[in-house]
Structure 1
Amino acid sequence: MINTSLFTQQWFRILLALVTGACGTIAFSPYNFWPSAIISLGGLLLVTLNRNVLQASCLGFFWGFSLFGTGINWIYVSIAQFSGLPDIFNVILVIILITYLALYPMLFSILLIVLWPRVNFCRLVLGAPVLLLVTEFLRSRILTGFPWLEFGYSQIDGPLKGIAPLLGVQAITFILMVISGLSVYAIEKRRLLPAVAVLTILVLLYPLYSLHWYEPQPERAIDVTLVQGNIAQSIKWEAKQVISTLDIYLQHTLKAIGKSKIVIWPESAIPENEMLQNDFLTKLDKQLKKGNTRLVTGIIDARPTINGYHYYNSIIVLGESIPYRYPSKNRYNKHHLVPFGEIIPCSSLFRLLSSLFNFPIFSLSQGDYLQPQLRVANMNLTATICYEIILGSQVRDNFHSNTDFLLTILNDAWFGHSIGPWQHFQMARMRSLELGRPLLHSSNNGITAVIDATGMPQAQLPQFKCDVLNIRVIPTKGMTPYARVGSWPLWIFTILVGVSALVFDHFKQIKFLI
């Protein structure tokens, strides 16, 4: 049993919590050291051994603050460059966000001590995975949700990736905590068997990766062109830049007409509302149709209503057999809007701040949660825009058995030369693996790529370069177990494990007292 004089001191445990929390960031892209996830989660369990509720809550908070402080500090880049706020406010906003996110590991630590006060197998190997899944679920839902840095994503290139098509990324997170709990149990009890169990789990689960739940359709392979415009965010929405921006995308697209069946432009590639660009879109639609090429592009839709305009972050399709006419039905409107980026919560308060600091207030409208697939060149595309690709349940709920490709268009220019776009790309890869479909991943400044049905990049463009990706993509068919039933089996299993761990631990305590 761990009981050294140094380890019993709270300050040392806080230091260890900070180190292992930061270690978690290394598990994710672009570092991709997947064992670091086990080290980090094991660190959280280790520092809370033999602590009371107050001490454990403090340690859980510092671990979370370190994880999110090192893992999502890239948010400062977008806030500092584009908010127009004084630097001190930018720093405060980032600290507030990191502090909020750290509350979830803190809650995890509190519940772990309260429900399983004794250090035993029930607490470390059964209770901890259940509580991690519950607190991560809450983090992905409360205040519109922020499921960034969920540890299951770190295994997209690890031995546990084969679990994703079966039960989804959350199941990988669950098993990672089981492995971490067994590791800490082996250290705490000085037993070899739990350590052997860790290796056994990794060895037994690794072959699942070789199971393919989909069937390629090479006879339906299609030529696709993805255009990466690399438009600087600082000038993207300037009115005088609209013509030059459209010219960049148009020149690259004209070369593909008649050669590629589908051309894809990224999120809001046309930096003006759809109605104002109606003439341009109509002419381009006719030109595309002559070459039997379709264009999928991001655009802002300013939809007139009796209460003024509703603005949508949209995807539209040009070049199909039915001539383009606003508002065409073959479109997708973004559902999950990013707080402060696309929608302003507590708008009255922020209108006051806007008047004080002279920064603009603008909110988009939500599209429906469930929307029809895009129909492009006789292919069915399940579409998402930017942040939505990390919302596994939303993507799955819009997925159909006849889906040929997944599509996401995005603009990560907000995050500069940070690790943010790489983490985003890593999570997008997980959607392909879960659902067994290739993903067309179109970005303004990178990472533009095509991801195959195993979650592996088939081809990609370098970041921060105006370039074109021409590739032949093979659609797939078939339904993975996760695509069929979602996360319900995992949650039923989680509830059963949690209840069993509580009952068994309570029974052992009674037996001990007798």
Structure 2
Amino acid sequence: MSHFIHKIKFIFNTNKPLKTILFYSFTLLLGMTANLAFPPHAISLLIFVTMTIFCYLLERRGHQSSFWYGYTFYLGAVIAFIGYWFSYYFRLQLGCGYLLSYLLTSIICFYTSLYIGIIALIYSRLKTRWQWFNLILILPSLWVITELVRGWFFPRSWYALGYTQVNNPLLRGWFPLLGVYSVSWIILAIAGYTTYFLHHVSKKNIIKMGSGIFIFLICSAILGQIHYTKPEGKPLTIALLQPSIFSSKNYTIQTLYDIETASTELLTATHADIFVLPETVFGTNYHSLTPGYLDQLKTIANINNAEILFGSSIHINQDTKYTGTLKLSDLENPVYVKHNLVPFGEYNPLKDTFMEPLVSAVTDQLSSYSAGTNTQEPAVIKGQKFAFNICYENTINDFVANSAKDATIILNQSDLSWYGETGMKDDFLQFSQGRALETQRYFLQDGNTGDTAVINPYGIIESSIAPFVAGALVSEVKGYSGITPFQVVGNYPVWIISLLIVFTMILTKIIELRQLIISKNKTTSRNKQHLKLGGKNAKTRRNSK
């Protein structure tokens, strides 16, 4: 047996191509394990193990292979994150074939992986001689900068590492203080801190490492006990309705009838101060509903002395239409118009470019909505101030935080039937938990097919409806007033701190290189002087002879 193991080791150590293939296969699988820290598995502590291994192996890579190591790691992660539900979206909702949907998904995965490949290369080439500084400060800063860039540009930071900790009471306190990206930074810092001590293993260092992490987590837990907001106004009974009918695909008159019937049944079987129906629930604008249906809704509202809110497309004229939220008692004045539209879903970002014909050839199912204004005042309904966001706007943390400054309750309306039974709906709920934590307000999420949920100001899901089941989620919801530190400063502190640390790294590297050049010049000068002196001594000896 020992001879066999020795032989395997010999083959592995002498066969460089095989060694490389096995290493990058392991790296790809390591990246995929990061997905297990997100829903539906939600093994939140696993992310610390995955990122510690990532940091440890990155620290051992050379300049030449660091890019491909980082790229391969995140390629595995992003395939596990979005590979299935992106291809599902392209195939079943935009009408792309299997080959084209997988091709488009692959392009997104290959593109997104570039971010981590680039920072791995930068890290390996510019890290300083202080290993603790590299692992605990520089690497977290580089990683979080990529999350911030993706959060601002494309694709959105659906999978910022900080989301894995929304249910971790030891780290929740950082969300209202500095936002989800600060938690991502902390995860990488803890992983780097652990890696540093793994490179200097001793009983004394293990005790230091454990003590440091323990003290930090205790302080973080205390931070989580701070309440920046307080209850305001009279609690409201709010019914979030989930019709569980897909309103967009193969839309017909029968589809409209089914949605209207399901919505009416849920409304008549429920009593509340406010009824909420999800994003574009009827699949058309309210002018196109069955004649007399709006009067039927108004009768239900009057019986309950209630208000009915529903998502709808809003047609201004033939060329201009919006998507937003309407209040049944005042249909001509939307309470919210969606600002952040979904690219390739609600608008074509390549319109009026040379690539527009290509997109048109791929699918004819792209909508053409206009965006609402960036800043919209909360809507006062039944004595509470509601801040609205629609669909994936709940992934944009600073946008939600700003819109909720003067609000007491946050409401998201979505139609996640676009993603079928993929894991996207579970991730979506986690994003909403992050927004509740950052603003310390109730966050209500109403979905057509799920996940419909009530999330309290501390990120805890108080109640929910199972996906793909028609139902009404009735809850008593308190309004909360006040402003969290994150609502004041947004993502700017994380941006600034991360950029300053990276700038310090670059400056330190420049100083190190300058000192190295000066040292080499001095050495060269001394060598020349020695050679010159040696020549003079030799000449003197010859003359003496």
* TM score, norm. by length of structure 1: 0.89
Asked if 1:388 corresponds to 2:393, the answer is: yes
493-502 vs 288-297, which deviates more? 493-502
Q: 1:205-354 alignment to 2 at 5 Å? A: 205-217=220-232, 220-232=234-246, 235=249, 237-256=251-270, 259-277=271-289, 280-281=293-294, 284-285=297-298, 287-289=300-302, 291-304=304-317, 308-319=318-329, 324-325=330-331, 327-328=332-333, 330-347=334-351, 352-353=357-358
Structure with a larger share of its residues in helix: 2
Would the aligned equivalents of 2:285 and 2:312 in 1 still touch at CA under 8 Å? yes
- SS of corresponding position for 1:475: strand
By how many angstroms is 1:132 displaced? 1.2
Q: What is residue 429 of structure 2 aligned with on the other side? A: 425
Give the direction of change, closer, same or farther, for the CA distance of 1:118–1:453 in structure 2 (3 Å limit). same
Q: 1:366-377 alignment to 2 at 5 Å? A: 366-377=371-382
Give the direction of change, closer, same or farther, for the CA distance of 1:432–1:354 in structure 2 (3 Å limit). closer
- SS of corresponding position for 1:439: strand
Asked if 1:113 corresponds to 2:124, the answer is: yes
Asked if 1:57 corresponds to 2:67, the answer is: yes
Q: What is residue 498 of structure 2 aligned with on the other side? A: 494
Give the direction of change, closer, same or farther, for the CA distance of 1:503–1:357 in structure 2 (3 Å limit). closer
Q: Which residue identity does 1:480 align to in structure 2?
A: T
423-432 vs 180-189, which deviates more? 180-189
1:101-135 per-position Cα deviation (integer Å, ceiling 9, x unaligned): 11111121122123216571221111111111211
Q: What is residue 17 of structure 1 aligned with on the other side? A: 27
Residue number among 216, 233, 258 corresponding to 1:201 in the alignment: 216
Q: 1:69-80 alignment to 2 at 5 Å? A: 69-73=79-83, 74-80=85-91
What is the alpha-carbon distance in structure 1 between the residues aligned to residue 248 and residue 339 of structure 2?
Answer: 25
Would the aligned equivalents of 1:354 and 1:360 in 2 still touch at CA under 8 Å? no
What is the alpha-carbon distance in structure 1 between the residues aligned to residue 121 and residue 349 of structure 2?
Answer: 29
Structure 2 unaligned segments of length 5 or more: list them.
1-11, 520-545
Would the aligned equivalents of 1:13 and 1:47 in 2 still touch at CA under 8 Å? no
Give the direction of change, closer, same or farther, for the CA distance of 1:41–1:502 in structure 2 (3 Å limit). same
What is the alpha-carbon distance in structure 1 between the residues aligned to residue 235 and residue 415 of structure 2?
Answer: 27
1:198-245 per-position Cα deviation (integer Å, ceiling 9, x unaligned): 33322331232222222134x611111111000035657323311221
Would the aligned equivalents of 2:247 and 2:283 in 1 still touch at CA under 8 Å? no
- SS of corresponding position for 2:320: strand
What is the alpha-carbon distance in structure 2 between the residues aligned to residue 512 and residue 43 of structure 1?
Answer: 32
What is the alpha-carbon distance in structure 1 between the residues aligned to residue 385 and residue 303 of structure 2?
Answer: 22
Would the aligned equivalents of 2:405 and 2:482 in 1 still touch at CA under 8 Å? no
Q: What is residue 404 of structure 2 aligned with on the other side? A: 399
**Larger radius of gyration, structure 1 or 2?**
2
By how many angstroms is 1:44 displaced? 2.8
Give the direction of change, closer, same or farther, for the CA distance of 1:80–1:466 in structure 2 (3 Å limit). same
Q: 1:128-139 alignment to 2 at 5 Å? A: 128-139=139-150
Q: 1:433-444 alignment to 2 at 5 Å? A: 433-444=437-448
What is the alpha-carbon distance in structure 2 between the residues aligned to residue 245 and residue 154 of structure 1?
Answer: 35
1:27-65 per-position Cα deviation (integer Å, ceiling 9, x unaligned): 111211112222222233223224344411111111111
Structure 1 unaligned segments of length 5 or more: list them.
none
1:305-350 per-position Cα deviation (integer Å, ceiling 9, x unaligned): xxx321211111123xxxx25x31x421111111111111223666
What is the alpha-carbon distance in structure 2 between the residues aligned to residue 279 and residue 369 of structure 1?
Answer: 35
Q: Which residue identity does 1:271 align to in structure 2?
A: G
What is the alpha-carbon distance in structure 1 between the residues aligned to residue 213 and residue 250 of structure 2?
Answer: 50
- SS of corresponding position for 1:224: strand
Asked if 1:42 corresponds to 2:52, the answer is: yes
Would the aligned equivalents of 1:126 and 1:501 in 2 still touch at CA under 8 Å? no
Q: Which residue identity does 1:262 align to in structure 2?
A: I
Aligned-pair RMSD on alpha carbons? 2.6
Would the aligned equivalents of 1:317 and 1:376 in 2 still touch at CA under 8 Å? no
Aligned length: 497
By how many angstroms is 1:508 displaced? 6.6
What is the alpha-carbon distance in structure 2 between the residues aligned to residue 44 and residue 12 of structure 1?
Answer: 16
Q: Which residue identity does 1:275 align to in structure 2?
A: H
- SS of corresponding position for 1:72: helix
Would the aligned equivalents of 2:345 and 2:366 in 1 still touch at CA under 8 Å? no
* TM score, norm. by length of structure 2: 0.85
What is the alpha-carbon distance in structure 2 between the residues aligned to residue 494 and residue 355 of structure 1?
Answer: 41
Q: Which residue identity does 2:195 align to in structure 1?
A: V
The share of aligned pairs that are identical, in percent, is 21
Residue number among 133, 149, 155 corresponding to 1:122 in the alignment: 133
Q: Which residue identity does 1:148 align to in structure 2?
A: W
- SS of corresponding position for 1:46: helix
Q: Which residue identity does 2:150 align to in structure 1?
A: R
What is the alpha-carbon distance in structure 2 between the residues aligned to residue 104 and residue 60 of structure 1?
Answer: 9
Would the aligned equivalents of 1:16 and 1:47 in 2 still touch at CA under 8 Å? no
